[in-house]
Structure 1
Amino acid sequence: MENFWELLDKKKINYYFENNKIIINSNLNLKKKIKVLPDNLFINGDLNLSETKIQKIPENLVVTGSLNLSFSDIQVLPDNFLIGGDLDLAGSKIKILPKNLSVKGNLNLTGTLINELPENLYVGGDLSLTSAYYIQTLPKDLSINGNLDLAYSAVKVLPDNFSVGNNLDLTYSELEVLPDNLSVGGDLNLANTKINTLPRNLLIGGNLNLINSEINKLSENLSIGGDLDLSNSDIQALPENLSIGGDLDLRYTNIRELPKKICINGSLNLRGTDIRSLPDNLSIGKNLSLAKTQIQLLPENLFVGKYLNIESTQVTLLPQNLSVGSGIYLDIDKIQNIVYRENSKDNSKIIFACWVNRMFSIQTVGFFGSLESFEKMVDEKYSDEIAVIYKKLAKECVDELAKKLN
């Protein structure tokens, strides 16, 4: 191990003395290279002591940035220790955290021997307890502004009314019950957990991951700001007033109906489900896939922000008040209230007219909109000869459909 002063000189680190302090206005990387630090050291930056033989923090150490003690021999930190950035203790030999520890950035306790978190612990960023096998409970007043990673941890209970500012990862954790009024600002990952019930009034700002979990029922008034993937799950029913800010994937589930007041701002995928009807006034912010379902009728006032997929369904009619933003995937010979034409020079180019968005709409590869917009598009995209052909086909579709609907 090299002497501290020799290391500074070797690394050409500038330092000076002021009021009995050793001040360094830069990051200092001493990985694997030091055993003892001097007292009264002030680092105006980051300090890397990973894989060193340091067992104790010197008196009056100040680090304005991050402190990395991962895989070091550190065994104790001073009381009231303040870190301006991140504190990384992963794989270190520390067993006890000091009282009133304050970390403005992230605190990494992955794989440590610590068995208890102190009261009044403050973590401004993320807290990682991944593979921290000795911590079983969290302080009652613990508040996490960033992510909380409890994957593979031994934590068995979360505090009542617990709040996590961003993501909460419980993958393969020992938790079996979630507290009521749990609030997660980001994603909640319950993959491969023993939890079988969601708590009341659960609020999730991001995505909810239930892959390979034991959850078989969703809680009432569940609100999810992101995506909910229930594909191939054992969930049998959806709660009333379910609100999904992102996508809802119900592929190949045993769910047979949707709640009347369900709200989905993203996409809804019902492919391969046993759902046979949709609630009136259903509004889907992005895509709606009904492919390979037994649905026969589309509901009144159905709104789909982007694409509607009704391929391989029993649907034969488009409702008069259907609203679709980007287009419809359908079985062209099955839908009765559309009219289509094939370009004799390009049989793959099918043009069809339908009554959607309260007007005659034209759809073909790469286009969905009004007849006027279609004519403008082909004039700009194709030669005069081809444009005339496409406009003629589209006009024929609209005229024939108008007669059919009247």
Structure 2
Amino acid sequence: MNILNVKNLLIISIGILLTIFLCLFVKNSENEKVNSLITDIDSLIDKKNSQQVNLRYKLFFNYLKQQETDYSIKDNHIYISDNLYIDDDEAKFILPDNLSIEGDLYLNNNYIRQLPNNLSVEGDLILYKTKINQLPEDLHAGSISLPVEQINNIAYRQEVGIDDITLFAVFIDNEIKISVPAWRFLGDLNSFDAKIDEEYSQTTEDEYQSEIEKYKQAAKECVNDLIEMRKNQANLLIVQEQYKDFFKFLDYEKIEYSFKNNNIIIDGWFKIKDSSIQLPDNLSIKGNLNCDGIKVTQLPQLPYNLSVDGEFEILSCGILTELPNRLFVNYLNLGDSFITQLPDDLYVNYLFLRDSFISQLPNNLSVGQHLDLRGTPITQLPDNLKVGKSLILDVRRIRNIAYREYIGEDQITLFSVFVNGEIQISVPSWEFLGNLKSFERKIDVNYQGVTAQQYKQAAKECTDELIEMRKNNVVNNNQITTSDVENPKAKNTIKEAITLSSTPAESRQEDQEFFNKLHKYPLLDTDRFIYIHYSDSDVWIDFRGTPITKIPNRLFIKGSMDISETMLTRLPNKLYVKGLLDISDTVISELPDGIYVNRLNASNTRITKLPDNFYVYDDLYFNNTPITELPSNLLLKGDMDLSDTPITKLPDNLSVGRNLKLNNTNITTLPENLSVGKGLDLDVQKITNIVYREHVGEDDIKLFSVFNNGEIQISVPSWKFLGNLKSFESKIDKKFSEVVAKQYKQVAQDCIDELAKRRNTNRSI
């Protein structure tokens, strides 16, 4: 290689090196420019963000300037490298989100109502006097001190252990931790246990060892409580989504509520103003529950597990036909309602079923104070019934009790009943219910002598009688039932959102003639019953003399119905009438099973007997019918008229509350256990076990003695009088002069003496 070639090669190499150097120099210059540009952009962004943050939280930053507290803003975060103390009540601002404090945060300010989102406090978070009642989920702090009673999303214990510390569980840094403000401790349960073990590691005394367990147990309980609270909060979100309209209504009406153990709790009186709102399950109302009658036509349904600490005004909520499973009510009156059956496991403090169509009590019924069963079709009490203070019923209707009437100077009714797991004595007029021993103690406190002995003897006899009944298993378990209205074991107890309509269901073409007559009455047609409701109980549904020939099955009428003088040949199955049912002057020849009426007028019909499943409470008129027999144990609170019938005998245990008429019948003897309350009229010449006198005194009355209500009494039909000799003489003294009264008294005395002698003679034969 010559010198020229070497020289050229050297020049080329130097040129390449220079080129590489120049390229590198230019590239570095460009990078610096780019980096400088990026820095400028970041600065602009931070500056813009700072301006926005400053604008939004201007009052807060003014406060920082006043306190000469340095801060910086980057990536929408506000950084304070020192402690922050806010203890001036005049400082009225909100704390900004994304606030990071490297020291402590001390709040003593009544204006601050909540902590910001994404708050980080490396030191101590101290909430002394604020209106904060909840900690944010994304909170971070080194330790926390706060008024535990005020914060609703922590779980705490106070005066724990030998040091009387306050500790609480709090959700922080995405986990549940234990805070002990006095120790400036914040850590998980394991680290808390480790700290306790370390603090007391040198201690061997049993007293201190027990204190260690107290600390650990308290912390564990707080953690478990907070876990349950957070579950409730999660469940509340689900419930709020499911029942949006209900919670919107609460918010609109500014009704405060809380959520605990899956129960929605309303602390006070609650009025439903919108029938379209579905009440949620597990609703607990601490006051009364009723409906705004003007706006609510028909409440769709009652929720499962409803609890009402006050009174449930069921009639204000339209035609409710069923009660939900798991119902807890303080005061419940179903006497004028459309409820025919009670759910199992019902708890009510005061339960009034008087004059209702409830035919049997459910399993596990618990009544805290008073239970009133008068005027119902109930004939037997369940063995698992619980009643706290008072049980009132028709003693002659209930088969599994033993009773005595007109006892002692107070003329009380007393009965033995198996309730609360034992045989107890009930005296309704005293509101007393308790075992024989407690009854006798009550008598010893209030009475003495013969009267006390009478009460004790009657109670002892009833107790012994019921023991014998239960021992021999002679309790009659046959009950009036309503099989097709049994309460389903389900939450959905009432057909949803049915509104009362002025027109009946189109599917009932065969009943259209009946419905056409009811255009002015509100109707509710369900798959169980047709309900007819109107506010005035005195208004009649009047079909008298119309060409109607049929009435729908499963009819429930709140009021009275007159179908007399029609072409009807039969009554429907499952007929409920809360007032009078008048079927007089028809060709109806039999009554169906499952008829429940308050009063029945069946005079001038072709009915010959009553069905097994038959219930009438007040009056029963069968005059001028071919009826020949009545069921045993028939109990009426009002009148019964059997005049002009071929009936030959009265049933055993017949009880008529007011007047019994037996004129022009084939009856010749009256049963020994007959009970008539006010008046008894009959053909005195036909009845062999009475003693009578006719054309007595200036009123020309008919008077007779009769064994009634367990004693010999005097009846004067024209006066509608029936009572013992003492009450008869009292009436005479008020009505007549001494001379005239003496004549009446002597006749009555003669009749009583003669009947007593006849009865004694019959016993000796």
Aligning the two structures, in what range does the TM-score lie when normalised by the shorter sequence? 0.5 to 0.7
Query: In the alignment, what sits opposite 1:88?
Result: none
Q: Equivalents in 2 of 1:172, 1:243: separation in Å?
A: 21
Q: CA separation in 2, counterparts of 1:306 and 1:319?
A: 17
Aligned partner letter, 1:386: V
Partner of 1:209: 562
Q: How far apart in 2 are the matches of 1:395 and 1:232?
A: 43
TM-score, normalization: structure 1? 0.55
- Partner residue in 1 for 2:616: 264
Distance between the aligned counterparts of 1:319 and 1:265, measured in 2?
21
Counterpart position of 1:41? none
- 1:169–1:189 Cα contact (<8 Å) kept: no
How far does residue 159 in structure 1 lie from its aligned partner after superposition?
6.1
The answer to whether 1:338 aligns with 2:684 is no
Structure with higher Rg: it is 2
Q: Taking structure 1 as reference, are residues 405 and 274 closer, same or farther at Cα in structure 2, changes over 3 Å only? A: same
1:282 aligns with 2:282: no
Q: CA deviation at 1:272?
A: 1.4
CA distance in 1, matches of 2:696, 2:604: 40
| Counterpart residue number, 2:517 | 171
Alpha-carbon distance between aligned partners in 1 of 2:618 and 2:710, rounded to the nearest angstrom: 23
Q: How does 1:170-209 map to 2 (within 5 A)?
A: 170-171=516-517, 181-186=529-534, 187-190=540-543, 192=546, 194=548, 196-200=550-554, 202-209=555-562
Query: Distance between the aligned counterparts of 1:224 and 1:315, measured in 2?
Result: 31
The residue type equivalent to 1:398 in the other structure is I
Task: Give 3-state SS (helix, strand or coil) of 1:294's partner.
Answer: coil
Aligned in 2, Cα 1:344/1:257: closer, same or farther, shift over 3 Å? closer
CA distance in 1 between partners of 2:671 and 2:713 (Å): 14
Unaligned runs of 5+ in 2: 1-292, 296-316, 319-496, 509-513, 520-524, 535-539, 761-765
The residue aligned with 2:745 is 391
Instruction: Tell me how many residue pairs correspond in the alignment.
Output: 250
Q: Name the stretch that deviates more: 387-396 or 319-328.
A: 387-396
Structure 1 residue 359 corresponds to structure 2 residue 748: no
Letter in 1 for 2:726: E
Matched residue, 1:230: 583
Q: Secondary structure at the match of 1:375?
A: helix
Give the Cα–Cα distance (whole angstroms) in 1 for the partners of residues 516 and 542 of structure 2: 6
Q: Which amino acid aligns with 2:573?
A: E
Counterpart in 2 of 1:158?
A: 505
* Residues 316-327 of structure 1 mapped to structure 2, 5 A cutoff: 316-327=668-679
Distance 1:204 1:350 in 2: 42
Give the partner amino acid of 2:530: L
Task: Name the CA shift for 1:360/1:214 in 2 (closer, same or farther; >3 Å).
Answer: same
Q: Residues 159 and 212 from structure 1, CA distance in 2 versus in 1: closer, same or farther, beyond 3 angstroms?
A: farther
Q: How does 1:127-142 map to 2 (within 5 A)?
A: 141-142=498-499
Change (3 A) 1:197 1:380: closer
Give, in whole Å, the separation in 2 of the partners of 1:381 and 1:279: 39
More helix by share: 2
Matched, 1:377 2:731: yes
Cα offsets for 1:236-288 (capped at 9, x unmatched): 3212232111x211122122211234222222111111111111111222111
Structure 1 residues 277 and 375, CA gap change in structure 2 (3 angstroms): same
CA shift, 1:219, in A, is: 2.6
CA–CA separation in structure 1 for the residues paired with 2:758 and 2:582: 41
TM-aligned CA deviation for residue 379 of structure 1:
2.2
Root mean square deviation of aligned Cα? 3.1
Tell me the distance in 2 between the aligned counterparts of 1:378 and 1:212: 43
Query: What CA deviation, in whole Å up to 9, does each residue of 1:127-172 have, x standing for no partner?
Result: xxxxxxxxxxxxx95425xxx5xxxxxx6x43689xxxxxx98439
The Cα shift of 1:324 comes to: 0.8
- Quote the offset at 1:357 in angstroms: 1.1
How far off is 1:231 after superposition? 1.2
Q: Any idea what SS the aligned residue of 1:373 has?
A: helix
Residue type of the alignment partner of 1:405? R
Structure 1 residue 346, shift from structure 2 partner: 3.7
Report the TM-score when normalising by structure 2.
0.30
For residues 97-141 of structure 1, the C-alpha deviation after alignment (integer angstroms, 9 at most, x for no partner) is xxxxxx969xxxxxxxxxxxxxxxxxx99xxxxxxxxxxxxxx95
Alignment of 1:88-99 (within 5 A): none
- Kindly provide the amino acid, as one letter, of the partner of residue 355 in structure 1: F
**Secondary structure of the equivalent of 1:227?**
strand
Gaps of 5+ in 1: 1-102, 106-123, 126-139, 149-154, 162-167
Q: Is the 8 A contact 2:696 2:744 kept in 1?
A: no
In 1, are the aligned partners of 2:697 and 2:744 still within 8 Å (CA)?
no
CA separation in 1, counterparts of 2:637 and 2:622?
A: 15
**Shift, 1:298, TM fit:** 0.6
CA contact (8 A) 1:198 1:215 kept: no
Q: Within 1, Cα distance between the matches of 2:696 and 2:560? A: 48
Does the residue aligned with 1:300 lie in a helix, a strand or coil? coil
Q: Which has the higher contact order (CA 8 A, sep 6+)?
A: 1
